[in-house]
Amino acid sequence: MLFNSWIFLFAYLPVTVAGFFILGRRKQLWAAAWLAAASLFFYAYWDYRYLPLLLGSVVFNYGCAAWLAASPPARKKWILAAAIAANLGLLAYYKYAGFFLASLAQLLERPMPALHVILPIGISFFTFTQIAFLVDTCKGKVQESRFVHYLLFVTYFPHLIAGPVLHHKEMMPQFADRRTFRLSASNIAIGSTIFFIGLAKKVLVADNIGAYAAPLFSDPVAPSLLVAWAGVLAYAFQLYFDFSGYSDMAIGLSRLFGVRLPLNFDSPYKSRNIAQFWRRWHMTLSRFLRDYLYIPLGGKRCGPLRRYLNLMITMVLGGLWHGAGWNFIVWGALHGAYLAIHKGWSAVARQWHLPSDTRVVNILATILTFTAVCLAWVFFRAPDLATALTIIKGMAGGFGLALPDVLAPHLLPLQPVLGAMGMAYYLGGGTAFIESWTWIAVAALITFALPNTQQIMRHFDPALNFQAGGERMLAWRASPGWAAAIAVLALASMLALNRPAEFLYFQF
């Protein structure tokens, strides 16, 4: 079931919210059980055949957590290692078995039996959530003896299919608060506002601009410079608004129940360096990789060379987590290299006292970071390495500079300059070219010039780890003007729901 669908908005969500608060007035356990059951139905609606897989994973990890809590310290590390191995083994089978077999067949130059394994939606997220819970249980940070509450923690539908990766200590104490089970007009107003802003990002921006990215990545036949960049930028903003929209919707939906989720997306394209980008993009995954992979590997405690190696290992595995393919490995390796270069440059800048916080430097740093991210997105989106390299060549001008011929009459004063640059013209495609760059300009304006959703809602504690800055623009408040604006946004979004599109992060 999709958040951006009629059945979710007008059937599932009202029934789930009403049942939760009606039962919550009688007994909190009943309300928690209702919400857990509704979350299981939400997951099974996509494909009921994978519901036993989710339930089996929940029961197994709940049992392992109970075993860990009751075991002496000497035995805990072995139980934890076995439980993590089992979780990763399940994830590896569904996500990577086909990739490894295909790679082995290519290496050995002989056919291998094909595996027709369908990737269950959300398996990465509910697996990582439970691994984090097991590690925290082993360290004595959390304990959960109530199965219904553990089931709710793992299957809670706002985060189940595309994150954020939750920690038990963040979420479940909120379900121990009696106020959570009381219907609140404030929570309904705040949650629905955040949800509809996220819905608009998804259906009005991401789905529309994505149409101009698809042709480049599906058939990149010698793309010229501007065509290649148009497709790549269209995808960069499609992914941005798709993931940002989902993150807003998850936070908004959870707020309806009086529960605040951790912030998972914080204007990452405004970052001035790649480390800042990863602190603002898929924030809970970055936190998971840092706490449960990078730091256990040694982090920065073992000298600069080991630190760079740990960064590379973490990012390559992070890339592989996003998808089974060499293109995802290259994407992760690129970001590992970016982080290593950033750390090295930061050390040099500090040593030589180079200017680092002027307006011009900040603008140039943001442009450079955004460009590097877009370059890596090519490998993230392309179906294979050959396609990615073709697009990269086009972005570098390897296939020349060309424009649709319909634009030629409008550029007559510039013809001498354009001719010296080697400008050529091709037949057709003028409408698509103009529309794509128009959408890119609109998306860039929203991304770089306007506050994000959490900043707009900054006076109402929109997310657990949100920290308000010095923003002054567009502060939401309960007023007729804001109500009318959100109503118009909601209506426009609903009119675009005739063909709901899946979120891009569902496939990861």
Same domain flag for 177 and 199: no
Same domain flag for 11 and 119: yes
Can you give the residue range of the structural domain that contains 81?
6-183
Q: In the listed set 133, 152, 183, which residue is the last one of a domain according to the structure?
A: 183
Same domain flag for 20 and 143: yes
Same domain flag for 410 and 459: yes
Q: Can you give the pLDDT at residue 500?
A: 65
Same domain flag for 87 and 228: no
141: which DSSP letter? S
Same domain flag for 255 and 404: yes
Q: Can you give the pLDDT at residue 147?
A: 93
Q: Is 426 helix (H, G, I), strand (E, B) or coil?
A: strand
On whether residue 211 sits in a domain, the answer given is yes
Same domain flag for 215 and 99: no
The answer to whether 508 and 124 are in contact (CB under 8 A) is yes
Query: pLDDT of the chain along its 508 residues, tens only?
Result: 788 889 999 999 999 999 999 999 889 999 999 999 999 999 999 888 889 999 999 999 999 999 998 888 889 999 999 999 999 999 888 888 777 777 777 777 777 666 667 778 888 888 989 999 999 999 888 888 889 999 999 999 998 877 788 888 888 888 888 888 899 999 999 999 999 999 999 999 999 999 999 999 988 788 899 999 999 999 999 999 999 999 999 999 999 999 999 999 999 999 999 999 999 999 998 998 998 889 888 888 877 788 889 999 999 999 988 887 889 999 999 999 999 999 888 888 888 877 777 888 899 999 999 999 999 999 999 999 999 999 999 999 888 888 888 888 887 788 888 788 778 888 778 888 899 999 999 999 999 999 999 999 999 988 888 887 766 778 899 899 999 999 999 999 998 887 766 667 665 5
């379900």: which residue's tokens? 175
Q: Can you give the pLDDT at residue 380?
A: 94
Give the number of other Cβ atoms within 10 Å of residue 173's Cβ. Answer: 11
CA 309 distance to own-chain centroid: 25
Q: Can you give the pLDDT at residue 165?
A: 85
Q: Which of 282, 322, 335, 342 is catalytic?
A: 322
Q: Is 27 exposed, middle or buried (0-12, 13-18, 19+ CB in 10 A)?
A: exposed
Q: In the listed set 154, 183, 212, which residue is the last one of a domain according to the structure?
A: 183
Per the annotation, the verdict on 322 as an active-site residue is yes
Same domain flag for 161 and 14: yes
Residue 306 to residues 260, 290, 302, 344, Cα–Cα distance (Å): 37, 15, 6, 13
Q: In the listed set 183, 209, 242, which residue is the last one of a domain according to the structure?
A: 183
Which DSSP string do the residues of 364-380 spell out, in sequence order? Answer: HHHHHHHHHHHHHHHHH
Instruction: Round to whole Å and give the CA distance between 457 and 318.
Output: 31
Half-sphere exposure of 76 (CA within 13 A, CB side): 16
Which DSSP string do the residues of 48-93 spell out, in sequence order? Answer: GGGHHHHHHHHHHHHHHHHHHHHS-HHHHHHHHHHHHHHHHHHHHH
Q: Cis omega (within 30 of 0) on the bond before 52?
A: no
Q: Can you give the pLDDT at residue 447?
A: 96
Residue 287: enclosing H or E segment and its boundaries?
A: helix 283-289
Q: Can you give the pLDDT at residue 505?
A: 65
On whether residue 193 sits in a domain, the answer given is yes
On whether residue 124 sits in a domain, the answer given is yes
Same domain flag for 174 and 190: no
Same domain flag for 93 and 223: no
On whether residue 102 sits in a domain, the answer given is yes
Same domain flag for 499 and 438: yes
Q: Can you give the pLDDT at residue 11?
A: 95
Measured CA angle at 391 (ends 282, 278), to 5 deg? 15
């356990």: which residue's tokens? 29
Domain total in the chain: 2
On whether residue 143 sits in a domain, the answer given is yes
On whether residue 297 sits in a domain, the answer given is no
Q: Can you give the pLDDT at residue 112?
A: 65
Q: Can you give the pLDDT at residue 417?
A: 83
On whether residue 324 sits in a domain, the answer given is no
On whether residue 251 sits in a domain, the answer given is yes
Q: Can you give the pLDDT at residue 267?
A: 93
Same domain flag for 137 and 188: no
